[in-house]
Amino acid sequence: PIRRQVARLALENLILDGRIQPAKIEEIVEKAKEEINKIIKEKGDQAVYECGILNFDPRIIAIIGRLYFRTSYGQNVLQHSIEMAHIAGMLAEELGADVAIAKAAALVHDIGKALDHEVQGTHIEIGIRILQKFGADPRIITAMKSHHEDYPYETIESIIVQTADSISGGRPGARRDSVENYLKRLQELETLVNAFPGVEKSYALQAGREIRIFVTPEKISDAEAKLMARDIALKIEQELKYPGEIKVTMIREMRIIEYAR
């Protein structure tokens, strides 16, 4: 991603300059690298300042800044990490956990993604190595490494970071997914619900965060509708994978029609 940004900036400057010669290309590429490195430093400094985090090694801050040019499912990783740090801080404060550790771990939880195209390993493994190399607090490493459940939760801060990650990444519109996958998820949800006897029709709403179910009143009583809503919710939990929660709304509508002639 960094090289792509350098190339983009260099091409823009070359077109503006108009002198496309080997010597000029090298000069402009070097200037583009300097400018990108300046942006990386600024973004890293802004991120730690905004999150109120102290005592990070400048090299860690520089790598955090590189996340400004990295996206995951269309979501900017640096913005996601900053948002996570704020969420983690609020959760830690409510739960009596270490706010500073939770916020710092949330900010660096995806730091490995800044280098995962250059270094072998998962972004979590790379992140752990980066933080260990530059002397990060071991409590921060412990809290950040469990956010994909690759490692067991060892502290309450570990759970907070994983929860903050789910909240930030799982909200509707936060990440871009293919239309095909999106429609497939909605279809799976509606198909599962429609298989229940007495269901007339169902509609997945709010990007699949709610399923609204219409039942046939002649077949399903009010008491049965309540039980069915619980059974459907349980079936969804067991068979579908989804972030957050899905609201199950059961609608039993009795319509009586008479004609005055």
pLDDT in tens, 163-182: 998 888 766 555 555 556 77
Average pLDDT over residues 229-249: 87
**Residue 17 or residue 89, greater confidence:** 89
104: pLDDT confidence band, cut at 50, 70 and 90? very high
- Parse the chain into domains and list their residue ranges: 2-170, 179-252
Q: Domain 2-170: which CATH class?
A: mainly alpha
Residue 20: the pLDDT is: 75
Average pLDDT over residues 206-227: 88
**Residue 155 or residue 16, greater confidence:** 155
Would the pLDDT of 184 be above 90?
A: no
Average pLDDT over residues 236-240: 88
**Residue 120 or residue 1, greater confidence:** 120
If you average pLDDT over every residue of the chain, what do you get?
A: 87
- 3-state SS track over the chain: CHHHHHHHHHHHHHHHHCCCCHHHHHHHHHHHHHHHHHHHHHHHHHHHHHHCCCCCCHHHHHHHHHHHHCEECCEEHHHHHHHHHHHHHHHHHHHCCCHHHHHHHHHHCCHHHHCCCCCCCCHHHHHHHHHHHCCCCHHHHHHHCCCCCCCCCCCHHHHHHHHHHHHHHHCCCCCCCCHHHHHHHHHHHHHHHHCCCCEEEEEEEHHHCEEEEEECCCCCCHHHHHHHHHHHHHHHHHHCCCCCCCEEEEEECCCCCCCCC
Residue 46: the pLDDT is: 93
Residue 179: the pLDDT is: 57
Residue 84: the pLDDT is: 93
**Residue 83 or residue 23, greater confidence:** 83
CATH number of 179-252: 3.30.300.20
